[in-house]
Chain A
């Protein structure tokens, strides 16, 4: 990937909380494709997402989307500039119904590819639940709504933080299909995953994050067949089945 045709280019990105540095000069670039960022707990994956979308202001480095610098801008500006966010834990609005989650953003979507109707078409299960509260949904439905809500931005890039977290395998299948569907339509997807198997299925390129930097890159399912690499980069024991072992540990460590 040369910088010229990169959709997203991140160079030397630094960020942290107070005195603790979490992102330590992180660089990568991606085009219209799906890319996964994998790594052990506490390596800064969620911080990377939060920094990309402007929830956390970076202390250094550059983020460019289609050449435009976005680092340091407000979250709403970054969202409108073209980075949609599907955050960890989904962060739906408990006071709103499924329909209202989409309706509150509907005005901007007129005449665009992704409208509330298109989201319901992509996830028919949401349509059945349209008058349910955001809190009354199953984990999988919550995730679909979180993805659908992000799609309404009609952004060229969607960042997903731990989309498969805590979901049943059949729901993960739905998400994997959705990711491929998006890429086929020309939307780039950056997905951060603990679950290696899900990461490999969602993205052809996997970037391994260690201590706030991208340390290695793999393609295809190379990582799945190499227990020694998993052990080295992801802390997965060589005897543990790939992808399952890290699926259940999450948030606390990464936010702190």
Chain B
């Protein structure tokens, strides 16, 4: 083998996998084992109690984690899709999330014919689905407009694009406050799904499972789109090597526009789901931008698999921390998120499925 070949191949692999670093792997393993042992057997002073003593609480916490992960995935998948192809951190992602929520709330109010205190029993399936599509549609169109007006001519200038979208976030936040007020509002789930079922002696909300179901549906559709259509293949190829894609005669700008449209639509779907689940208020935009960032940093920017894995890990930590930290420390649950981030980045600096840009 000539030196040229080995060099070329090494370069190829380096771009494909980021090797595991040894010592952090051991640290991570020890931490994971310790946490598992604590949750399963030792967590006596925690609100939920050790899992072996109270399997019902444990199951509920797992469900909480997985269903919240579903919402995280929907919100982060569009973000990671846009970043992966365009290397643009779309700081306006959270704003699109919140705007879609507000639009959905208005549309739902108009459809049900009442504002505030809408009874789920009055909300039909369509009274939820139409607002969902309206909100996500507005987010998609606004996202596309942002891309066309502000980002297109700054192609390749990542810092400018990031600052531009950040500025848009500030402007949109003010305008939404003016238009929709400062009170927390929510999209009301349709009456058909606002039930509880019981599992191992615990009551559990059907709506959370609906949220998970929608997330799975979004994930499957995205996967099919990226893996089974030629546009999807072009997007994946573009994540690897944008210039070469152009060299094959593909108009990457059209692909960028489509990706931004879909990514913003997903932000909108996430926003409506989030507003149904936890409500929408000023500040929701920032916190969901942060959530999306955490998910894609854990999972690796630009990877759909990474978004799924990151959502699951983050969702699990968010659900388990308040339930299984000793009661007097519950207040510090939020810190566990950063512990997770530090741990993952120590083992894989580019995230679980990430590659160097």
Binding site for B on A (CB under 8 A): 53-55, 74-76, 79-80, 85, 87, 89-96, 100-101, 103-108, 135, 139, 149-150, 152-153, 165-167, 247-251
CA distance A153 to B109 in the complex (A): 53
Contact of A55 with B243 in the complex, beta carbons under 8 Å: yes
Contacts of A90 in B (CB 8 A): 8
Contact of A105 with B12 in the complex, beta carbons under 8 Å: no
Interface string of B1-17 (1 = CB under 8 A from A): 11111011101110110
Which partner residue on chain A sits nearest B238 by CB separation? A93
Contact of A166 with B5 in the complex, beta carbons under 8 Å: yes
For residue A20, give the distance in angstroms from its CB to the closest CB of chain B: 20
* Interface secondary structure of B, over-half rule: helix
CA distance A108 to B250 in the complex (A): 10
For residue B99, give the distance in angstroms from its CB to the closest CB of chain A: 32
Which partner residue on chain A sits nearest B230 by CB separation? A104
Q: Does B239 lie at the interface of the complex (its beta carbon under 8 Å from any beta carbon of A)? A: yes
Contacts A/B (CB < 8 Å), 22 sampled: A53-B247, A55-B243, A76-B252, A79-B246, A80-B249, A87-B247, A91-B244, A94-B12, A95-B239, A96-B237, A96-B240, A107-B230, A135-B13, A139-B9, A152-B248, A153-B249, A165-B5, A165-B8, A166-B4, A247-B2, A247-B4, A248-B2
CA distance A251 to B8 in the complex (A): 10
Contact of A93 with B249 in the complex, beta carbons under 8 Å: no
Among the listed A76, A135, A150, which residue makes an inter-chain contact with B246, where contact means beta carbons less than 8 Å apart? A76
Which partner residue on chain A sits nearest B355 by CB separation? A94
Contact of B8 with A166 in the complex, beta carbons under 8 Å: yes
Interface string of B323-344 (1 = CB under 8 A from A): 0000000000000000000000
Which residues of B64-108 are within 8 A (CB) of A?
none
Q: How large is the interface on B (under 10, 10 to 19, 20 to 34, 35 or more residues)?
A: 20 to 34
CA distance A54 to B252 in the complex (A): 14
* Interface secondary structure of A, over-half rule: loop
Which residues of B1-47 are within 8 A (CB) of A?
1-5, 7-9, 11-13, 15-16
Which partner residue on chain A sits nearest B243 by CB separation? A55
Q: Does B57 lie at the interface of the complex (its beta carbon under 8 Å from any beta carbon of A)? A: no
Known contacts A135-B12, A135-B13; decide if A96 and B236 are in contact (CB<8 Å). Answer: yes
Contact of A93 with B11 in the complex, beta carbons under 8 Å: no
In the complex, the 10 A-B pairs of residues with the closest C-beta atoms, listed nearest first:
A166-B5, A79-B249, A104-B233, A166-B4, A75-B246, A93-B237, A93-B240, A80-B249, A95-B236, A91-B244
For residue B223, give the distance in angstroms from its CB to the closest CB of chain A: 13
CA distance A158 to B14 in the complex (A): 29
Binding site for A on B (CB under 8 A): 1-5, 7-9, 11-13, 15-16, 230, 233-234, 236-237, 239-241, 243-244, 246-252
Which partner residue on chain B sits nearest A155 by CB separation? B249
Contacts of B249 in A (CB 8 A): 76, 79-80, 105, 108, 153
For residue A71, give the distance in angstroms from its CB to the closest CB of chain B: 16
CA distance A53 to B15 in the complex (A): 24
Q: A53-B247, A96-B236 are in contact. List 6 more A-B contacts (CB 8 A).
A: A80-B249, A85-B247, A95-B236, A104-B233, A149-B248, A248-B4
Among the listed B16, B244, B248, which residue makes an inter-chain contact with A135, where contact means beta carbons less than 8 Å apart? B16
Contacts of A149 in B (CB 8 A): 248
Contact of A139 with B5 in the complex, beta carbons under 8 Å: yes
For residue B85, give the distance in angstroms from its CB to the closest CB of chain A: 12
Contacts of A87 in B (CB 8 A): 244, 247
Contact of B4 with A94 in the complex, beta carbons under 8 Å: no
CA distance A115 to B247 in the complex (A): 18
CA distance A197 to B79 in the complex (A): 50
For residue B140, give the distance in angstroms from its CB to the closest CB of chain A: 24
Contact of A95 with B246 in the complex, beta carbons under 8 Å: no
CA distance A247 to B5 in the complex (A): 11
CA distance A80 to B246 in the complex (A): 10
Contact of A94 with B9 in the complex, beta carbons under 8 Å: no
Contacts of A94 in B (CB 8 A): 12, 15-16, 240
Which partner residue on chain B sits nearest A139 by CB separation? B5
CA distance A94 to B243 in the complex (A): 14
CA distance A93 to B239 in the complex (A): 9
CA distance A54 to B241 in the complex (A): 15
CA distance A149 to B13 in the complex (A): 21
Contacts of B236 in A (CB 8 A): 93, 95-96, 100
CA distance A149 to B247 in the complex (A): 11
Contacts of B3 in A (CB 8 A): 248
CA distance A101 to B34 in the complex (A): 45
Known contacts A93-B244, A103-B230; decide if A76 and B239 are in contact (CB<8 Å). Answer: no
Among the listed B4, B9, B241, which residue makes an inter-chain contact with A93, where contact means beta carbons less than 8 Å apart? B241
Contacts of B15 in A (CB 8 A): 94
For residue B203, give the distance in angstroms from its CB to the closest CB of chain A: 44
Contacts of A95 in B (CB 8 A): 236-237, 239-240
Which partner residue on chain A sits nearest B239 by CB separation? A95
CA distance A91 to B238 in the complex (A): 12
Contact of B230 with A106 in the complex, beta carbons under 8 Å: yes
Which partner residue on chain B sits nearest A149 by CB separation? B248
CA distance A217 to B38 in the complex (A): 77
